[in-house]
Amino acid sequence: MQLLDGKKTAASIKDEIKQTVDAIKLQKKRVPHLAAILVGDSTASKTYINNKIKSCKEVGFKSTLLHLEKDITENELIAQINNLNNDNSIDGFIVQLPLPKHINEERVLLSITPEKDVDGFHPINLGKMMIGLPAFISATPKGIVEILKRYNIQTSGKHCVVVGRSNIVGTPISILLGKKSEAGNATVTLCHSHTKDLKTYTLQADIIIAATGKPNLITADMVKDGVVIIDVGINRIDDNSERGYHLVGDVDFKNVSKKSSYITPVPGGVGLMTVASLLQNTLAAYQAAYYPKDFIEENLL
């Protein structure tokens, strides 16, 4: 079994980005600028946002955090988004999900201009990705494709079973893997909570992408020898540690790793790749402002 090391892979991507930013600084140009909107005080969301802001600093990006009250109205939030849409000093921005229940997430995501939608959640970006036009690919699926590429894991002709069909992970990664492209050409099965006898499908998989939020859903008896495992799940399990919890994925790592050829750990796997992809998207958004059309075509997936 070989570990798919998200920490190491994300670090080399960040290094590449930093070199580009250093070159930008030498030319005395402004550096890429990512803004992030956080609504409310969820500790998990704060951790995710802080990691993103910290990573911006590491690569030399400018970052701005807008921390808004949890009882902000939907219209007030959209007004803040419009400010960012119209602010030429900001290349891309994200709205950390989930949002409080009184806010319609779809309406909020639709209000982000697609050119600054570095999370790739806007239907314009999702639609362009579907038909193979240059687009911002959602950070987690992009990170999964990138880690597979960097470990030379072939997807062509393989059977990939994706478990979970969210708009931000399961559905887009199932499309990317099935596309006629370098990191695609797989035969994809998309499973979800209505799938009967999940094990029938996972046992046939050469590659399993688990994105359900169900701790230890994928167990050793559900996978074949030599399987490649990408564990997207991030689940908090309460314990007696100082922090009060530890993180596990959707896969029973201890036992499944014994049968797998490659596996991502949790933590230290897909989560870090997600942040690295967000930085790549932000850099592409910045560069698109300087080299519009052909640059986008060459640099977005």
By CB under 6 A, is residue 276 in contact with ligand NAD?
Answer: no
Active-site annotation holds for 250: no
* Residue entry with tokens 């069909």: 165
Distance of CA 35 to CAs 151, 156, 225, Å? 31, 37, 44
Active-site annotation holds for 117: no
By CB under 6 A, is residue 198 in contact with ligand NAD?
Answer: yes
Closest CA to 228 of 157, 160, 293, 164: 160
Enumerate the H helices of 87-152 as residue ranges. Answer: 105-110, 123-131, 139-150
Distance of CA 197 to the CA centre of its chain: 28
Using only C-alpha atoms, the chain has a radius of gyration, in whole angstroms, of 19
B/e letters for 205-235, b = 16+ CB within 10 Å, e = fewer, are bbbbbbbbeebbbbeeebbeeebbbbbbbbb
Of 108, 211, 227, 256, the one binding ligand NAD by CB under 6 A? 211
Active-site annotation holds for 96: yes
Options 91, 116, 117, 119, the catalytic residue: 119
**Which listed range, 78-86, 111-119, 229-237, 278-286, lies at the site for ligand NAD (CB under 6 A)?**
229-237
* Residue entry with tokens 């990705």: 129
In the bound complex, what is the minimum distance in angstroms from residue 155's beta carbon to ligand NAD? 19
Of 9, 274, 281, 282, the one binding ligand NAD by CB under 6 A? 274
Options 80, 91, 96, 206, the catalytic residue: 96
Residues 6+ apart with CB under 8 A from 58: 14, 18
By CB under 6 A, is residue 217 in contact with ligand NAD?
Answer: yes
By CB under 6 A, is residue 185 in contact with ligand NAD?
Answer: no
Q: Closest CB to ligand NAD among 92 and 170?
A: 170
**Which listed range, 146-154, 191-199, 239-247, 277-285, lies at the site for ligand NAD (CB under 6 A)?**
191-199
In the bound complex, what is the minimum distance in angstroms from residue 196's beta carbon to ligand NAD? 10
Kind and range of the H or E run holding 45: helix 43-59
Q: Name which of residues 22 to 81 contact ligand NAD (CB under 6 A).
A: none
Structure token digits, residue 42: 């969820």
In the bound complex, what is the minimum distance in angstroms from residue 219's beta carbon to ligand NAD? 12
By CB under 6 A, is residue 209 in contact with ligand NAD?
Answer: no
By CB under 6 A, is residue 170 in contact with ligand NAD?
Answer: yes
| Cα 225 to Cα 271: distance, rounded to the nearest angstrom | 25
The residues carrying an active-site annotation are 52, 96, 119
For ligand NAD, the binding residues (CB under 6 A) are: 140, 163-166, 168-170, 191-193, 195, 198, 211-214, 217, 232-235, 270-271, 274
